[in-house]
Amino acid sequence: MKYLAGLLVCFALVGAGVAPRLTRASLQSFERQSDSTIENLLKEDPMSILGYTRGVYLDGYGVVFSTEVDLAPRMNPNPFRAQFTKDDFTRIKELKRLRLVQLREQMRSMLISYASGLDLPLNENVALAVTIPYSRLEDSAGMPRQIVISAPRRALLDAAAGRTAALPETLKVQEFF
């Protein structure tokens, strides 16, 4: 009988599980911060968030934030603007290339910033995925449709403290075309 009672207590404890470290509410502040940071990256001609950033915690992996960003919203074809010429599309592509450099650097900075505020184990990751749409009319050859940057929280905290030597080795940047 004692054996059965002990077994039931063990099952109850296992079934109860451990409360998640991160709550939905704790991720929401980072989501809003992400949207604001990206939209304010270029004040004179801002990028546009297409749908709000969403964060999800994956047990054993870490946190993934995902968003969609239009690199040059004023440059999109629309019915109120004359047709784009080939030169227009060439200028737009070059503008987007320049903005991709800024976006990648901002994404890296955002990960470093987020690492200190997230209650994650040091070996779990912080990741940011940005999807980039292109008009079917523009030449998007060689332009990424998605950028994913991730690193273990420990490496990001070290970078925040000025110890950046290991960050290039642990920062994983993936681009999907």
Q: What is the pLDDT of residue 88?
A: 92
Task: Specify the higher pLDDT residue, 123 or 166.
Answer: 123
Contact (Cβ atoms closer than 8 angstroms) between residue 20 and residue 29:
no
- Is the residue at 5 inside a domain? no
pLDDT in tens, 48-63: 889 899 999 999 999 9
Read off the amino acid at residue 9.
V
Number of domains in the chain: 1
- Is the residue at 2 inside a domain? no
Q: What is the pLDDT of residue 4?
A: 52
Read off the amino acid at residue 14.
V
Contact (Cβ atoms closer than 8 angstroms) between residue 21 and residue 119:
yes
Q: Is the pLDDT of residue 8 over 70?
A: no
Q: What is the pLDDT of residue 12?
A: 47
Task: Specify the higher pLDDT residue, 51 or 70.
Answer: 70
11-39 burial: b if 16+ Cβ within 10 Å, else e: eeeeeeeeeeebeeebbeebbebbbeebe
Q: Is the pLDDT of residue 13 over 50?
A: no
- Is the residue at 168 inside a domain? yes
- Tell me which H or E stretch contains 25: helix 24-39
- Residue 14 pLDDT class (50, 70, 90 cuts): very low
CA 58 to chain centre: 14
CA 2 to chain centre: 52
Please name which of 55, 6, 1 lies closest in space to residue 27, comparing C-alpha atoms.
55
Q: Is the pLDDT of residue 43 over 90?
A: no
Q: What is the pLDDT of residue 130?
A: 98
Q: Is the pLDDT of residue 80 over 90?
A: no
Contact (Cβ atoms closer than 8 angstroms) between residue 98 and residue 125:
no
- Is the residue at 133 inside a domain? yes
CA distance 126 to 44: 30
Print the domain residue range for 116: 23-176
- Is the residue at 18 inside a domain? no
Q: What is the pLDDT of residue 164?
A: 87
Q: Is the pLDDT of residue 94 over 50?
A: yes
Q: Is the pLDDT of residue 167 over 60?
A: yes
pLDDT in tens, 135-154: 888 899 999 999 999 999 99
